[in-house]
Structure 1
Amino acid sequence: MTPLDEQALAGCVRTATLAPSLHNSQPWRFRIDGGTVEVFADRSRQLEVLDPSGRELLISVGAAVFTLRLAIGMQGRIPEVTIFPDPARPDLVARIRAGQVTTPSAQVNALAAAIGSRHTNRLPFANAVVPADSMEHLCAAAAREGATLTRAGAVSRDTIIGLARTAEARLRGRGGYRAELGRWTRPRSYRQDGIPHTAYGPWDALEHLPLRDFGLVHPQPQRPSARFEAHPTIVVLATDDDTPADWVRAGQALQRVLLTATHHHLATTPISQPVEIPAVRDLLTDPATGRTAQIIIRLGYAAPAAATPRRPLTDILESGQP
């Protein structure tokens, strides 16, 4: 079997960089060797205040791993994935080989088509119910990656929103939080990472939804306010355990869920604050199953959101032997 050439794999890596990441930090590096791509965690891009354990960094890298799998699948190859293949190199998160020739399935085609349209949406959502059929597809998407997705009922939704407000208040009082947020939102016309002002979203006029305020450090004078949905659809993505491998698994599940949602014309907003405060995150653990919450997602219908920039391939990709 002829391996995929380096140019084709480089194109797959470029697609993988469209994955979501905390503050659009893009904390990944790639190396191509023959028909294999190695995916590394870039610890220089870890957010030390929000993410001292590197959990969210590995979720971000896991999302890139899933996107890379899809891109290789679209090249007509079965991706063969090994997570943490070398204990001596803990930042080597995954090794992905372009395996046997295959024909991309309808599901792979649909998810791959959604990659370029998936953007975190911080706009108000319509006061419309997410259909049960769409929710079933989203839950199945998480299950395919070894995670669970649970829709919050009215009581648990309000509890989660309250916990998110508490977490946001604690984060704002944490030393270094504003400085770290400022580094990733600093206005620079040439910037190829971070959150540009076009992606901040409006103010919540009623201060109901605890969305991250990316305009906190660099406020925009023309930024509008808006009324957000009164009863948002909230889902919780969880894993059976809470190890680095589970964090990577959560990232792959997250991206499959987000792309599935995009395919169903749903807007999505990952909400991280409640899982960034350990004491708050513990309250989201399911006592009946022991499953650990990894991320919360807001779902609904909204106008298209702005894309965020991506780093050039030359910054993140190397070839050949290390």
Structure 2
Amino acid sequence: MTTVISPPTREVLSDCVRTATAAPSLHNSQPWQFRIRGPRLEVYADPARRLPVLDPDGREQLISVGAALFTLRLAIRRAGHRSDFELFPDPDRPDLVARVIATCPSPVTPAIEALAAAVPHRHTNRYPFARSEVPAAVLDRLREAAGREGARLAGTAPAGRDALLRLARQADRQVQERPGYREERTRWSPPGPRPDGVPRGATGPADAWETLPIRDFRESEAMWTAPSDHFEPNPTILILATGADQRSDWVRAGQALQRVLLTATWHGLATMPISQPIEVPSVRRLLIDPASGLTVQMLLRIGYGRTVGRTPRRPLTDVLLPTGRRTYRRR
């Protein structure tokens, strides 16, 4: 007797895509598009949503798309199917980042349930955290999460943490001096309702002690003054790194980042990626010992913080491409 395996329906896969859009992205640019072809899903980077000033090489865009790819895989698994994926499957279509195929049905484990349940609760938290240490057992879980996606997550001793934060503040100042930076930031700081970008309520205050480089999303210097607050003096900073620095490594870093963020969320932690020191090549090279053979892809601040609201997301109709020829929706 032959067993027929039914793939997920298009409606189920559309729901999985909708879940994938909850992934984090630079300036909440949501630089992804998807196409469903039977049991296959194509994941694209949308060049119209790249940030050329902050991200001229598209590294952070591919990290964002990688985070969406992991969330898509998780959603398919939560729907009761396993999946396989291939990165950059078509050399003639460089923006086709991954092709995912839903495969055999599989029972949903408690671990998958927990990780999937964290998706709607994961938000970048730019507010002060409590002065409480993160338990070593939880840090071990986060390192394990990164390792499962082929990346490395390392903690920092106090001296190393302070050095990293000095470099991060230096990089933040350099980034702000780039031509076109303020215009690009303004583009992603919507003054009113919009389905993307970072609204004022998600920006958080400035650090009165100037320890942390909190990204300033004020849409106009003349419109309002950012409040300040005292952040935790000894933040927990983690380093996410990969063994190389190719496009596939950027996608791998994004998948690892999202698994780490969701694991942290499930454990009640607040999280804030810190990307400024990676956006300045001269600073990025100083973040890790070259003898390690690793390349830093992101710094991550974690701790126990206040509940914050989610940033907006584009509707499914904006990110789900028709089955036919691909077209971009430009803003």
Q: Please classify the TM superposition score into its range, dividing by the shorter chain length.
A: over 0.9
Which of 280, 283, 292 is the aligned partner of 1:280?
Answer: 283
For 2:291, the aligned partner's letter is A
The 3-state SS of whatever aligns with 1:285 is coil
Residue 285 (structure 1) shift:
3.3
Aligned to 1:94: 98
Aligned to 2:206: 203
Which of 47, 53, 68 is the aligned partner of 1:43?
Answer: 47
Aligned to 1:164: 168
Q: Distance in 2 between matches of 1:308 and 1:123?
A: 14
Residue 29 (structure 1) shift:
0.3
For 1:182, the aligned partner's letter is T
Q: Residue 305 in 1 paired to residue 314 in 2? A: no
Which of 2, 8, 11 is the aligned partner of 1:7?
Answer: 11
Q: Is the 8 A contact 2:43 2:99 kept in 1?
A: yes
Q: Is the 8 A contact 2:191 2:219 kept in 1?
A: no
Aligned to 1:108: 112
Residue 216 (structure 1) shift:
6.4
Q: Is the 8 A contact 1:186 1:218 kept in 2?
A: no
- 1:180-203 per-residue CA deviation (whole Å, 9 max, x = no partner) reads 0011003122x1000000001012
Report the identity percentage.
55
Q: Distance in 1 between matches of 2:13 and 2:253?
A: 24
Structure 1 residues 55-70: aligned runs within 5 Å: 55-70=59-74
Q: Distance in 1 between matches of 2:134 and 2:222?
A: 33
Q: Is the 8 A contact 1:240 1:291 kept in 2?
A: yes
Which of 82, 88, 102 is the aligned partner of 2:86?
Answer: 82
Structure 1 residues 229-240: aligned runs within 5 Å: 229-240=232-243
Q: Distance in 2 between matches of 1:223 and 1:250?
A: 32
For 1:150, the aligned partner's letter is A
Superposition RMSD in Å:
1.2
Residue 222 (structure 1) shift:
7.2
5+ residue gaps, structure 2, are 326-331
Aligned to 1:72: 76
The 3-state SS of whatever aligns with 2:297 is strand
Residue 219 (structure 1) shift:
6.6
Q: Distance in 2 between matches of 1:31 and 1:243?
A: 25
Residue 5 (structure 1) shift:
1.1
Q: Distance in 2 between matches of 1:226 and 1:3?
A: 51
